[in-house]
Structure formats: structure tokens, C-alpha cells
A and B are shown apart, each in its own frame.
Chain A
Amino acid sequence: MGNLRGKLLPPALAIVFSMLLCGVALVISGANPFSAFGAMVTQVGKGSTLVDIINSTGIYYIAALAVAIGFQMNLFNIGVEGQYRVAAVVAAVVGGSIALPPGIHTLVIIVVGALAGAAWAAIPAILKVTRGVNEVISTIMMNGLAIGLSAYLIRRDVFGELRGNNIRTPEIPESGWMPGISFGGGGTMFGFLFVAIALGVGYWIMMNRTRFGFELRASGESATAASAGGVNAKKMILVSMLLSGAIAGLIGLPEMLGRDHTFSLNFTAGIGFSGIAIALLGRNHPGGIAFGALLWAFLDKSGLALDNVGVPREIVTIMQGSIVLSVVVAYEVVRRVELAAEQRRVGRELGTVGGAA
């Protein structure tokens, strides 16, 4: 079916193209591209790499969903990075300082994370709605503030404590952890993955089956048509930004609840930016985003094997970048071709161009 082809063809083309590009880069730098790609593929079967990839996929997936909600109405929430950092530190502090029964404790941490993310996103949202401040600028600045704020919050004279060489928040008691699925030597899969899957399903339902999703998509497609159709633009900006921030607030939790149980200086940064790329790659579609997150995680984790065959690991970054670029171009080309084809088809079926044939 032409529709499905239109959706799958561009990313496939983009991946092939960027592999070629990286192959060329590898040849220029004097390495054998086949052995490099081979090493990456065989790495998947080694040690805990497969589980690492899956865990990482879940985290990226949440990040990309957060970005995608903004993208649906042309809001560029670059602030996911800062939102999840602030949310993680707040959730860790709250989680580590309360005592609740298992389950409820975990739930409270999740809710606190989501609320903190939403609160951090509320600032640029309110600025945009009331003062017209561009969300790109304000969220970038909020990212800078988030780094400072989180560093302040884990100071020893605030909420932090010194453990070895590391400063961190007090450990969350075991009642607040989220159990995972252990594969012994193969690593442990985060239980939070199921939350990620549920978020994806919820996202799909919201976008395709609810009034809110309709209004969001209508605003993104045509702000003027949406306003004539009675969609309140300001309300949509506020709600979608808060929702985006709330989901961003969950990004740090898989690792925190499943492995680290604290917010420390080793906190994984940069996931918010990867989320932007993955949302682009997946065209804001929950299935596409899952695929993009998996690809991203695979490149990240199996890229580690490149050092073993004497290839710089940074080649993976080149590949990620070129995939995103070529996917964006490929989608646009395919979109235009498909629209023209559709118009021709309609014309043919109605016989308006029949006379010209």
C-alpha cells in the first residue's frame, strides 16, 4: 500500500544513505567500514549489551514523546533537557526523604517527577502565552538554569550528602524502587519500560481518539484554521507545554528507580537533545518514535565496540546526525511526491484530466 510505503521508505533511505556517508568517512580515516559495522552488530550479543540497548530505548522513547507533544503543535520544547534534570533531582530528594509503603512510594516519586517537570515547563509556557516570548529561547535559557539549580540542590548544605567521591541526594529507601526483570549476566531490564510502553499507547489514544488530540493536531497543521474552528491557541500552548514537561519529568526515573536510587553527579545528561532527534526521526508517531529510539540506543551501545577494532567511537555521532538530516529531507521529498500523486489520482478518478489523455 502506497501509504505505508510513504511512511517506511524515507527512514530506510536515510539510514542507507547515512551508512554510506559513514562508510566513506571510515575509509577516509583509514579504517575498514565492514569490520566496523560488523563489530557493532556482533556487539549486541555480548554481555549485557542487548538489555542495555532495550533500557536505553525506553528512556529515549519517553524523551522523544515529550518532545513530540510540543512538535504536534509546532512548539519546539528544547527544554526537555532541563525539565528532566530538575524533575529528577526533585523526585530524588522527595523520594529519599519520605517513608511510604512499597508501590505507593514509587508512585509518589513518579507523580512528583511529572509535576516538577511540568512546573519547570510552565515558566516558558506562561511567558509565551502572556508575553509572546519565543519558547525556543526561553527553554534554552531554562536549561542553563536547570543545571545550576540541580547542582545547588545537591550541595551538602542543602539536600545532598557526600558518598565516596560523589555528591548525591540521600538514597531512596527500597520501598520506593521499581523492580526490574533480571537476566543474570545479561543485565536487568528496567521495570519502568512498561511505563514507557503505557505512555506510548496513551499518547496514541490521546492524539487520535480525543478532542484534545484533535485540537493539538489542528493547531499544529494550521493555527489560523484551528482558531476559526474554535480552538483556543493560548490554552493549547499552555496545556501541551505542561504535558510535554510532565512526560519529560519521567525521563530520569527508569535509571533512578531501577538502578541508581539517587541523583548524583553521574546523572546521565543529554537525553533531552537526543529526544528531539528521535522525535524528528519518528515523525511524532508513537511507532516511529519507538523505532527511532531503538536505532539510537543501538548506535549508542554497540558503538562502544568500535574502540576494539580501532575505529573512533565518534563515528556513531556522525551517523546519528546524518540520519536525522537525511530523514528530514527524505520525508519532505516523499510528502510532496505523494501529495502530487494523490491529486493526480483524484483528478483521474473524477475524469477532469481524462480529456487531456
Chain B
Amino acid sequence: MSSSTSVRTDDPPAVVLTGITKRFPGVVANSDVHLTVRRGEVHALCGENGAGKSTLMKILYGMQPPDEGTIEVNGEQVRFRTPSDAIKAGIGMVHQHFMLADNLTVQENVVLGAEALHGIGQKARKRIIELSGRTGLNVDPGVLVEQLGVADRQRVEILKVLYRGAKVIILDEPTAVLVPQEVNELFDTVRGMQAQGYTFLFISHKLDEVRAIADSVTVIRRGTTVGSADPKTVSSRQLAEMMVGSELPSPETRESTVTDTVVLDVKGLKLLTPDGSRPILDDIDLVVRSGEVVGIAGVEGNGQTELVETIMGMRKAGSGTITLQGNDLTKLGTLARREAGIGYIPEDRHRHGLLLTQPLWYNRILGYQTRKPASKGIWLDTDGAKKDTERIVTEFDVRTPGIDVPAAALSGGNQQKLVVGRELSGDPVLLIASHPTRGVDVGAQALIWDEIKRARAAGLAVLLISADLDELIGLSDTIKVMLRGRLVADADPSTVTPEDLGSAMTGAGSTSAAVQETAVVEEGEN
């Protein structure tokens, strides 16, 4: 798959990191990291979430100085104080979260901050057109970025670093936002640019992708490099075990526990944009039964967030009904819905799940302020809350020195375990889990999967929203595909592949018998 012809071994390596150490509060830092990237290769840096990949790349990109160790670029030792030093040395970075201004054109976005290079006029435009061919971007530089899709936005990001003269390009989790088809296009772009002499540092924890694109792989675990591998001979399983240092967890659920008891019944749910012009949710019908995990697949921004927030009562539905175990929730507020037995793992635990500066036990109360063990009548029961927090910390393996530390002091995985533990307390009948393992380490991921599976076996109904298609397919009993605010297709998790799901998610139509279209989306509608 990968072309190793353009990798030159006689030249000095493009980048050499030697003995990089970075001490960093609370999370895994880098300790004695060694990394050699040869010129013209695609070098993958693998490691689970929180292993220290991003820190290492921030050091290489001059965003943070290392405490110890040296960086060499093209055989010369360098010291980066700011990203602009790194850019001058020919290193560019494409961040996982795009840093583009939607209301500016492609050209304006590219030129922004680099006006000194080719001005902002025709010269810049010519240069951009010249470079966009290399990234596979086929749009006029005068187009607004808000009109571009995710894949094109990513190309604009790559274009930005090329424009600044980068020869070594760091791609930080570039496929996280792409559906499988777009991933393939990205890889074509990368291979094309590699042939033109560019060097890539490809950061990922998705092993199949790493094996498909990389010429060499370096694995990082708990902040240090644990070894390199040849992607052509190593298996995904071997790589994963290097990353984790032990056996790999799997989301797979064994036998079905689905019952006939309907827990959540959503009928004809509609939600309009605040100005009332356009539906965000359009006529959603959804049933979740006891012991069933219903997964919602969809490209982000197609209404999944709004669906969850409407079911939780955080948004007011325009029409439709929401019934939980036969009780009509439609007119109730969030608290009453929670009391009726809904547990909620929000997609953004910092914004919606936690009070970051408050201690863990105080966070235990959030959402449960009217119920035991957190309160008695109008009074808080701080002793009860503390005791129950101790239980969650033990049962859910939250790694913390105590329950009095502020939530912000924990790592993402431990924060999430606390949230999951809290939401599974108080005997919920329905759990709404939005991206329950996003941004957490493999250990926490395995634990969260196990807990969801255990609760499902005990009769919990689960509505799962996830961008991780493997997680979605592995955990769900039923998958529904969401597109432009509608549930457009059903998929059978026992037979569907991520690629099938991917094409259904983009509206490309059903390509497999495992995906059954349930609604037709007319293109002329918008």
C-alpha cells in the first residue's frame, strides 16, 4: 500500500527527537522520548488517548518547551520557543480541531497571519491555487469556508501549513472527524504529497489506518516510546498490545438481552431552529426497550446532540411526545425526567457533566439533588453524598487521591468514570450515553463498556450516540442512522461494516443489505 520508494535513507533524518522529557501537571507527561522521522516518509505515532502523543507534538511544534532533551531538524539542533520558530524550520501542524474562521474565504483563512509571505492579493491567490492541487482541494480560493465540508476544511488546514513553507507536516488525529470514504481520500492526498517529497507525522490510535498509511510506526505508552514496528509485518493486535501493554478490550456484546418492554418511546418529535425557519429534528420516531442498546450513527451536526438534549428536556420540542415506561414526559423539565429514571452521560463532560472546580463528592450531587443519597427533603446530605462518592470511586476505579480534590484535577478518563458511575447510580431505567468513551484512555474505555453491558444485561435501556463506529457496532442491538435531523436508515450491527455505515451517514445511499433505508431525504429540501 505505502510507497517506500521516496524514502531516502542517506540524507539526515527530517526530525530527530532525543530524550524528550516534559513534566506536566496531573496527566501523563513525556519521559525520555526518542523518535526519528526519515525524510519523505509517513511516520505514525501511535498510542492510546492520554499517552502523551499530543504533548510530544506540541513540543515539536514549539507550543511548549521540553524540560529535557533535544530536537534536530535536518541534522541541525534547534530550539523552538514559539510555533513560528517551528514553521520557519519547515514544520507545520494540522490540529485535530480545525482552526478556521467560517465567515472568511479559503484564501483569507490561508493568508491570515502569513500576510508577509505573498501579500493578500493576486500573488497570494496564485500561490494558493498552485498549492491546492497538491492537497486535492478543488475549490476556488474565494469560497467561504462555511460552505465547505469537513474533508475540504481539512485540506484547507493542510494548505495553510504548505503556504507557510512546511516540509514536515504533523497530522494530529486527522481521521477522527472523517467518515471512512473521506479517510481514503485523505490517504490518497497524503500519498500524493509524499511522492512530492513531503514528510508526514501521523498521530493516531486507529491501528488499521496506521497500517494502511504509514511507512514506519513508533508506539508511545504512558509518556514514553516503547518501540517501533514495521506496519507491513505487524498486526493490529500486536500494535494494540504494544500500546496498551496488555490485552485489548473489545466493545463486542455476546448474547442479546433485548426484551419486549418498551422503556423509551419517542413519537413524531420535531425541533425547529430558534428562528423557526428550519427543522433540526424532523419527525423522529424511536423506541428503546429494556435490555436494548439503540445506537445512533451520524456525522456530527446532523441533530444527534439536539435529539439527546430534547429527550433530556434541555430543549423544548416543537411537537411530538416522549414517553418513559408509559409516563408522558413531554411537558416535564429536565429534573423531573431525571427523577423518572433517565441517566445522562453528556457528550461534553466539562460543559454538561461536571462542576470542575468543585470536589468530587459535590459533583455526585449534580442531577441527584432531590434524591437519596445526595439529599433529604430540602437539605443536602453531604455525608450520604460523600459515602456514595467513595463507592463510585471504588466500583468504577476512579483514580484519585480522595473525594475532596476538584474534578478538574483528574484526567479525562477518570472524570468520565465518575460521570458514568454517577449516572448509573440511582437505578435508572434509561441511560442516554453521548460519546461515552470520547477522549478517555483504553483502560477507562474498557471499564465503561463493561459497565454499560452489565447494566444492559440487568434490563437497562440504553440510547447510545457515538462517532466511534466500532464502539457503536460493538455495543448496539439496533443502529439507526441520522442524517439532517431524520432517522433515515436502520442497520443490523451483527452484519454491518463501518464502511456501510459511513456511506449511509453521508447520505450516499444504501450499499449493503445490512442497511435498510427507512426514509428518503430529498435533496431539494434545503
| Chain A residues in the interface with B (C-beta under 8 A) | 208-215, 217-218, 221-222, 224-232, 339-340, 342-347, 349-350, 352-353, 355-357
Question: Which of A212, A221, A352 has its CB near the most chain B CB atoms (within 10 A)?
Answer: A352
Bound state CA distance, A340 and B23, in angstroms? 12
4 closest Cβ pairs, A-B complex:
A230-B335, A343-B26, A343-B25, A229-B367
**Which residues in B have their C-beta under 8 angstroms from that of A229?**
334-335, 338, 366-367, 369
Query: A342 contacts B399, CB within 8 Å?
Result: no
Contacts of A352 in B (CB 8 A): 26-29, 222-223, 411
Residues of A within 8 Å of B367, CB to CB, are 228-230
Q: Which of B80-88, B348-356, B480-488 contacts A (4 or more CB under 8 A)?
A: B348-356
Of the A-B pairs whose beta carbons lie under 8 Å apart in the complex, a sample of 22, sorted by A's number, is A208-B380, A210-B380, A211-B380, A212-B378, A214-B369, A214-B375, A214-B380, A217-B358, A225-B354, A225-B355, A229-B334, A229-B338, A229-B366, A230-B334, A231-B369, A342-B405, A342-B409, A344-B25, A346-B401, A350-B399, A353-B29, A356-B67
- Cβ of B22 within 8 Å of any chain A Cβ, yes or no, is yes
- Closest Cβ neighbor of A231 among chain B residues: B335
Quick one: closest A residue to B385, CB to CB?
Answer: A214
A347 (CB) vs chain B CBs: closest residue: B26
- Closest residue to B337 on the A side, CB-wise? A230
Residues of B within 8 A of A212 (CB): 378
B400 and A224: CB pair below 8 A?
A: no
A218 to B369, CA, bound (A): 11
Please give, as numbers and ranges, the residues of chain B lying within 8 Å of A227 by CB-CB distance: 314, 334, 352
Contact call B410/A346, Cβ cutoff below 8 A? yes
Within 8 A of A (CB), among B20-37: 21-31
Known contacts A215-B369, A340-B25, A353-B28: A228-B312 contact under CB 8 Å: yes
The reply to whether B366 and A347 contact each other, CB–CB distance below 8 Å, is no
Q: Provide the residues of chain A in CB contact with B446, threshold 8 Å.
A: none
Instruction: Report the bound CA distance from A224 to B368 in whole Å.
Output: 16
| Docked-complex contact B378 and A210, CB < 8 angstroms | yes
Chain A's nearest CB lies how many Å from the CB of B55?
Answer: 11
A354 vs B399: C-alpha distance in the bound complex, in angstroms? 15
> Contact between B365 and A214 (Cβ–Cβ < 8 Å)?
yes
Q: Which residue of B lies closest to A227 (CB)?
A: B314
Given contacts A352-B411, A356-B22, contact A225 B351 (CB under 8 A): yes
Counting CB contacts under 8 A, is B184 at the interface? Answer: no
B245 at the interface (CB under 8 A from A): no
Closest-CB distance, B25 to chain A (whole angstroms): 4
Alpha-carbon distance A345/B410, docked complex (angstroms):
10
Contacts of B223 in A (CB 8 A): 352, 355-356
Residues of A within 8 A of B352 (CB): 224-225, 227-228
A214 contact set on B, CB distance < 8 A: 362, 365, 369, 375, 380
- The reply on B408 being an interface residue by CB < 8 A is yes
In whole angstroms, how far apart are the Cα atoms of A208 and B401 in the complex? Answer: 23
For residue B459, CB closer than 8 A to chain A, the reply is no
Q: Are A344 and B369 in contact, with the CB atoms below 8 A?
A: no
Q: Which chain B residues in 268-295 approach chain A with CB under 8 Å?
A: none
Q: Is the CB of A230 within 8 A of B26?
A: no
Task: Enumerate chain A residues within 8 angstroms of B314, measured Cβ to Cβ.
Answer: 227-228
Considering the chains assembled together, what is the distance between the CA atoms of A232 and B405 in angstroms?
27
Q: Which residues of B contact A350 (CB under 8 A)?
A: 399-401
A347 contact set on B, CB distance < 8 A: 24-27
Indicate whether A211 sits within 8 Å of B26 (C-beta atoms), given known contacts A222-B355, A339-B409.
Answer: no
A227-B334, A346-B400, A347-B25 known; A211-B410 Cβ under 8 A: no
Is B406 positioned at the interface, with any CB of A under 8 Å from its CB?
yes
Q: Does B346 contact A228, Cβ atoms closer than 8 Å?
A: yes
Query: A356 vs B29: C-alpha distance in the bound complex, in angstroms?
Result: 7
Q: How far is the CB of B443 from chain A (nearest CB, A)?
A: 12
Interface contact B378-A211, CB-CB below 8 Å: yes
List chain B residues, Cβ under 8 A from A208: 380
List chain B residues, Cβ under 8 A from A353: 23-24, 26, 28-29
Most chain B CB within 10 A, of A227, A228, A231, A347, is at A228
- Interface secondary structure of B, over-half rule: loop
User: Given A228, A231, A356, which contacts B31 in the complex, CB threshold below 8 Å?
Assistant: A356
Chain A: which residue is nearest B222 at the CB level?
Answer: A355
Question: Are B30 and A356 closer than 8 Å at their CB atoms?
Answer: yes
B378 pairs with A342, CB closer than 8 A: no
B333 at the interface (CB under 8 A from A): yes
Report the separation of the CA atoms of residues A232 and B406 in the bound assembly, to the nearest whole angstrom: 24
**B residues 375-397 touching A (CB-CB < 8 Å):** 375, 378-380, 382
Instruction: Compute how far the CA of A230 lies from the CA of B332 in the bound complex, rounded to whole angstroms.
Output: 11
CA distance A229 to B224 in the complex (A): 39
Q: Contact flags (1/0) for B162-196 with A, using CB distance below 8 Å?
A: 00000000000000000000000000000000000
Give Cα distance in the complex from A304 to B306, angstroms. 61
Q: Contacts of B380 on A, CB cut-off 8 Å? A: 208-211, 213-214
CA distance A343 to B411 in the complex (A): 9
By a CB distance below 8 angstroms, the chain A residues around B366 are: 218, 225-226, 229
Among residues of B, the one whose C-beta sits closest to the C-beta of A352 is B28
| Inter-subunit contact A339/B23 (CB<8 Å) | no
> Closest CB of chain A to B448's CB: distance in Å?
18
- In the complex, which residue of chain B has the Cβ closest to the Cβ of A357? B23
Least CB distance from A201 to B in Å reads 15
CB distance from B183 to the nearest CB of A (A): 32
Contacts of B382 in A (CB 8 A): 209
B259 to chain A: closest CB distance in Å?
28
Minimal beta-carbon separation of A72 from chain B (angstroms): 13
Which of A210, A221, A346, A356 is within 8 Å of B405, CB to CB? A346
B414 CB, min distance to chain A CBs, angstroms: 9
Nearest opposing residue in chain B for A223, CB measure: B351
> Could you tell me the distance between the alpha carbons of A232 and B336 in the complex, rounded to whole angstroms?
11
Task: List B contacts of A346 (CB < 8 A).
Answer: 26, 400-401, 405, 409-410
Q: How far is the CB of A214 from chain B (nearest CB, A)?
A: 5
Q: Is there an interface contact between B357 and A339, defined as CB atoms closer than 8 Å?
A: yes
Interfacial chain A residues near B23, Cβ < 8 Å:
353, 356-357
**Chain B, range 318-360, C-beta contacts under 8 Å to A:** 333-339, 344, 346, 351-358
Is B370 part of the contact surface with A, judged by Cβ < 8 Å? yes
Closest to B363 in A: A225
Q: Which residue of A lies closest to B28 (CB)?
A: A352
Docked-complex contact B357 and A356, CB < 8 angstroms: no
Most chain-A Cβ atoms within 10 A of its Cβ — which of B30, B314, B352? Answer: B352
A344 to chain B: closest residue by CB = B25
A347: min CB distance to chain B, Å: 4
Q: Are B26 and A210 in contact (CB under 8 A)?
A: no
Contacts of A349 in B (CB 8 A): 401
Q: Is the CB of A230 within 8 A of B333?
A: yes
Complex: chain A residue closest to B370, CB-CB: A211
Within 8 A of A (CB), among B236-258: none
Q: Please give the distance in Å from A187's CB to the nearest CB on chain B.
A: 40
Q: What's the minimum C-beta distance from B60 to chain A, rounded to whole angstroms? A: 17
| Residues of chain B contacted by A210 (CB below 8 angstroms) | 378-380
A214-B369, A353-B28 known; A339+B408 contact, CB < 8 A:
yes
Asked if B406 and A339 make an inter-chain contact with CB atoms under 8 angstroms apart, the answer reads: yes
Residues of A within 8 A of B338 (CB): 229-230
| Bound CA span A345–B30, Å | 17
Q: Is the Cβ of B406 less than 8 Å from the Cβ of A342?
A: yes
Is B401 a contact of A228 with CB atoms below 8 Å?
no
Please tell me if the beta carbons of B346 and A221 are within 8 angstroms of each other in the complex: no
| Distance A353 CA – B406 CA, assembled complex (angstroms) | 19
Q: A209-B380, A356-B30 are in contact. List 4 more A-B contacts (CB 8 A).
A: A225-B354, A346-B401, A349-B401, A356-B23
Closest-by-CB residue of B relative to A221 is B355
Chain A residue nearest to B24 in the complex (CB): A353
Query: Which residues in A have their C-beta under 8 angstroms from that of B344?
Result: 228
A227 to B375 alpha-carbon distance, docked (Å): 18
Point out the residues of chain A lying under 8 angstroms from B351, CB to CB.
222, 224-225
Which A residues touch B26, using CB under 8 A?
Answer: 343-344, 346-347, 352-353
